[in-house]
Amino acid sequence: DADVTQTPRNRITKTGKRIMLECSQTKGHDRMYWYRQDPGLGLRLIYYSFDVKDINKGEISDGYSVSRQAQAKFSLSLESAIPNQTALYFCATQPPSTDTQYFGPGTRLTVL
Amino acid sequence: QKEVEQNSGPLSVPEGAIASLNCTYSDRGSQSFFWYRQYSGKSPELIMSIYSNGDKEDGRFTAQLNKASQYVSLLIRDSQPSDSATYLCAGHSGGYQKVTFGIGTKLQVIP
């Protein structure tokens, strides 16, 4: 079984809809991250969490919110989706003892 | 200005040649550096990490770090078509700082 899973893997939605992307991990890592990836812009950090009670904004948090329901689960919400949020979204985890991040398979989101 | 800079490429090399991928960073506090490989439509996967000045070798891959010049590179020897991917350079300042990624360099290995 995959250590970091993301659901859904693909999603097409319309402008103004609320969308939730979910991330689960079985690695037992405290640190979790949400990134989006756009051609030419690379990976950009949306939100990150170092434990259940510690959530921080990244460089592009506007229009997004997150919830850390448990150590293993970190969800990303788009309250009112807009077309420029069309992107590939990755969740990542990181153990406290290293700087290495482990990525989920990604969610391709299209906002029409 | 991104803190980690990479040329987006594509970098084309013939099969069997050495591919040289380069990265510069602006944060002198960065302590650790990483190279991730990302195949099209897939997630990034770590291939090398380096923490000290000098070279670090792992199979066909060699990472090089020069903190004085704020420069990180990845050499891939005997390049194979399966090495064709985008290579992301990343830096970390340690502790509770976040990892910063470059935009990635696309490598094409021509058979």
Mutate to test the interface with B, among A101, A102, A107, A108 (most CBs of B within 10 A): A101
CA B27 distance to own-chain centroid: 17
Residue B71 forms contact with A (CB below 8 Å): no
Tell me what the pLDDT averaged over chain B comes to: 92
Counting Cβ atoms within 10 Å, is residue A112 exposed (0-12), middle (13-18) or buried (19+)? exposed
Distance CA A105, CA B17 (A): 31
Structure tokens belonging to residue A5? 């899973």
pLDDT tens for residues A18-34?
999 999 999 899 999 99
- The Cα angle at residue B3 between residues B50 and B6, in degrees rounded to 5: 70
pLDDT in tens, A75-112: 999 999 999 999 999 999 998 877 788 999 999 999 99
Q: pLDDT-derived band of residue B95, with 50, 70 and 90 as boundaries?
A: low
- Out of B43, B96, B99, the one facing A50 most closely (by C-beta) is B96
Cβ of A100 and B46 within 8 Å?
A: yes
pLDDT at A55: 95
